[in-house]
Amino acid sequence: MIRYVLRRLLSTIPVMLTVALIVFSILYFSPGDPAALIAGETATAEDVERVRHALGLDRPFALQFGSWLWGVLHFDLGNSLFSNMPVSTMIGQRLEPTLSLMAVTLVFSVLIAVPVGVWAAWRKGGGFDRVTTVIAVVSFSIPVFACGYAGAWLFALKLGWLPVQGYKPLSGGIVPWFRQLILPAASLGTAYVALIARITRASMLETLDQDYIRTARAKGLGDGRILFLHALKNASVPIITIIGIGVAMLIGGAVVTESVFVIPGLGRLTAESILRRDFPVIQGIVLFFSFSYVLVNLLIDLVYAFVDPRIRY
Report pLDDT digits (tens) over 49-69.
Answer: 777 777 677 778 788 888 878
> Is the per-residue pLDDT at 312 higher than 60?
no
Give the global pTM: 0.79
Computed over every residue of the chain, the mean pLDDT equals: 80
- In percent, how much of the chain has pLDDT > 70? 92
Would you state the pLDDT for residue 37? 66
Q: What residue type is assigned to position 165 of the chain?
A: Q
> Is the per-residue pLDDT at 266 higher than 80?
yes
> Is the per-residue pLDDT at 204 higher than 80?
yes
| Residues 6 or more apart in contact with residue 229 via CB below 8 angstroms | none
> Average pLDDT for residues 35-51, to the nearest whole number?
71
> Is the per-residue pLDDT at 100 higher than 70?
yes
Would you state the pLDDT for residue 309? 65
DSSP E strands, the chain = none
Would you state the pLDDT for residue 38? 67
* pLDDT band with cut points at 50, 70 and 90 for residue 152: confident
Would you state the pLDDT for residue 32? 65
> Is the per-residue pLDDT at 313 higher than 60?
no
Q: 10 Å Cβ neighbour count for 86? A: 16
Q: Domains, the chain, ranges and CATH?
A: 2-73 (no CATH), 90-312 (1.10.3720.10)
Provide the 8-state DSSP code for 310. Answer: G
Angstrom distance (rounded) from CA 90 to CA 86: 7
* pLDDT band with cut points at 50, 70 and 90 for residue 46: confident
